[in-house]
Structure 1
Amino acid sequence: MMAIAARKRVASTVWMVAPLLILMIVGFNLPILMMLGKSLFRGENLSFEAYSNLIETSVYLKVLGNTFKIAVITTVCCVLLGYPLAYWLRGLSLKWQMIGLAAIVIPFWISILVRTYAWIVILGNSGVINRTLIKLGWIDTPISFLYNQLGVVIGTINVLLPFLVLPLFASMMKIDDGLMKAAETLGAGRMTVFWRIFFPLSLPALAAGAVLVFILTLGFYITPAILGGGRVPMIANMLDLLINQMPNWEMASSISVVLLVFSMALFVFYLRFTAEEKAI
């Protein structure tokens, strides 16, 4: 009787999970398999022509290299800005922590498209920054912030910085202050305590956040398209061109597979750092 009851429970569980499983297969796994098939097959024949064309065509390699370059710059800037911000928030009182976190979270409620266009108002040749600098007499002609790599990086940092700050701040709050106080009682200075105790404990969360920002930057589309003005090609923009205008599904699929493999490799590192953080 117990075996029959156990089988019934398993069967009921399977029926409850089945709709979600079907949705995952049809909505996520099947398109990925179709993309892989497009990159590997020409008709019914196995072919690596799309991958060889990707390697031999300098334009595709240039776009891939530019994308990784912007992702690295964005990630480094987010780390340099996000770590001090999270550390500063940790030292505030509970009231000011809530205010600071609200200031970081509220932009999530605003569309990325709206926030991106707002940067045009701020960074344009007649924007707030250039007009202010000209009035102060610091510059004679407007600085070109937009439609170049600088504008893309600024807009991307604005969107992705919270993805590093919020989990990093949550991890910092878990660090026991007693460890720092114990080190200080043994004669360690504040800088020594920070670099020898606090920073190593927060490093797994920092690394995980950096990997997450890097992965998200690789697939960014809206911000580079608007702030780059078509002059800063990235992978997502190139895929849009290959699919909607050319179209060249084989090449688009091969580029997507390369991006997917690289992102999965980074995600493995992300899971590793997350696991280390939980162990701490």
Structure 2
Amino acid sequence: MGRTGLNRNGFAYVLPLAVIMLVAFDVPILLMLRTSFAPSWTLANYQHLIGQEVYLKVLLNTFKVAAITTFFSALLGYPVAYWMTRLSPTGRLVAMAFVVIPFWVSVLVRSYAWIVLLGNAGIVNRALLSLGVIDQPIALMYNELGVIIGMTNILIPFMVLPLYAAMTKLDRRLLQAAATLGGSDVQTFWMVFFPLTLPALTASTLLVFISAIGFYITPALLGGGRVSMIANVLDVLINKMPSWELAAAISTVLLAASLALYALYRRVAPHSGM
């Protein structure tokens, strides 16, 4: 009786949260799925999506921008995480603060900051013009380059923090054993350290890519309306056209892609120490 009563009480505590999750998350997703097959449970919306080349181009462009952003996040994030592991305890705290502090700043503010830096009249272009390096402003903004720079800046902490956590858990005796056997620092890194941290890098890469394909604010601001991504097209379909059924179909495709990537992430994550 005591255990049964405890289970009932536990269920009573969990029930409100379960109801909130069901109403706030599950029901909207089910309604979206239903809308994607509207009006009469057909695949007409998906057929229209496949038949219109513009939507396929947007989907491919979204995955391309997300992939490039993920690549540069890994290219910059891995050395930073590795460098942090070689610092003193105080140095690690300071470096960690610089990585975490951007989380406290609004994505909107950070995106506008890049406009101030990279715009035609921004700090970078004005500095290059004053030094005589260029004769006219370089187009660093309102194109894919600006979007990738902004997205990489926002997502790189999601690469650094998991990698740093995995690297700090690595058994240092393995590195010492490699050095004892005559391996140089470079050999120890590429033959021991990097292979052991590769699962964490793969998991972090998937995490960043999943986040990148759903970006809205940064492409809208830094792309200047010239870089079409899924989230921006959904805004047009819902708020301007409107075409809820087609928007629901595109959202379903995006959801399926995200779930597939998340399933892959879950397979990799247990082996990455994350």
Normalised by the length of structure 1, the TM-score is 0.96
Deviation at 1:6, TM superposition (A): 2.0
Aligned to 1:220: 215
| 1:115-149 residue CA offsets vs partner (Å, 9 max, x unmatched) | 11011110011111111111111111100011100
CA contact (8 A) 2:163 2:200 kept: yes
Q: Please give the alpha-carbon distance, in whole angstroms, between the structure 1 residues aligned to 2:74 and 2:165.
A: 15
1:25 aligns with 2:36: no
Q: What CA deviation, in whole Å up to 9, does each residue of 1:85-135 have, x standing for no partner?
A: 111111111111111111111111111111110111100111111111111
How many residue pairs match? The answer is: 274
Q: Deviations over 1:159-179 (max 9, x none)?
A: 000011011111101112111
Task: Say whether residues 1:273 and 2:274 are aligned partners.
Answer: no
- Supply the distance in 2 between the matched residues of 1:17 and 1:81 (Cα, whole angstroms): 42
Of 143, 148, 163, the match for 2:158: 163
Partner Cα distance (2:163, 2:66) in 1: 19
Task: State the SS of the aligned residue for 1:192.
Answer: helix
Residue number in structure 2 paired with 1:139: 134
**Residues 1:262 and 2:260 aligned together:** no
Shift of 1:259: 0.4
2:11 aligned to which of 8, 11, 14: 14
Per-residue deviation, residues 217-266 of structure 1 (Å, max 9, x unmatched)? 11000000000011101000000110111111110000000000100010
Aligned mate of 1:107, from 99, 102, 110: 102
Does 1:57 pair with 2:52?
yes
Q: 1:48 — aligned with what?
A: 43
Q: Which runs of 4+ in 1 moved over 4 A?
A: none
Per the normalisation by structure 2, the TM-score is 0.98
Give the aligned residue type for 1:265: A
Match of residue 235 from structure 2? 240
Contact 2:166 2:273 (C-alpha < 8 Å) held by counterparts: no
Structure 2 unaligned regions, length at least 5: none
Calculate percent identity across the aligned residue pairs. 53
> Which residue in the other structure is 2:170 paired with?
175
RMSD of equivalent CA atoms:
1.0
